[in-house]
């Protein structure tokens, strides 16, 4: 019984830390735009979306000015 419980708990941790797609929604000067962060962990996606990640973000080849916008992970 203990082994089954241990395997179930380990499985939940593995599934909880899986990479998946997240959507970042930003509002700037009354305009709303969204972009998708593919195959990311939630903490990394949130850091990029909120402008705390490494490097910039480009949407359709155009840099997103994250310092001036209000972005949140959806």
pLDDT in tens, 26-70: 887 788 888 888 888 888 888 888 877 666 666 677 766 555 568
Provide the pLDDT for residue 46: 86
**Is residue 32 packed enough to be buried (19+ CB in 10 Å), middle (13-18) or exposed (0-12)?**
exposed
Provide the pLDDT for residue 43: 86
Provide the pLDDT for residue 50: 80
Q: Is the confidence at residue 9, as pLDDT, over 90? A: no
Provide the pLDDT for residue 21: 92
Provide the pLDDT for residue 12: 59
């Amino acid at each position: 019984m203990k082994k089954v419980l241990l395997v179930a708990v380990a499985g939940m941790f593995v599934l909880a830390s899986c990479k998946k797609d997240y959507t970042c929604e930003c509002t700037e000067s009354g305009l709303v735009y969204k972009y998708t962060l593919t195959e990311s962990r939630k903490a990394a996606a949130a850091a990029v979306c909120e402008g705390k990640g490494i490097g910039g973000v480009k949407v359709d080849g155009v840099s997103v000015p994250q310092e001036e916008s209000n972005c949140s992970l959806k």
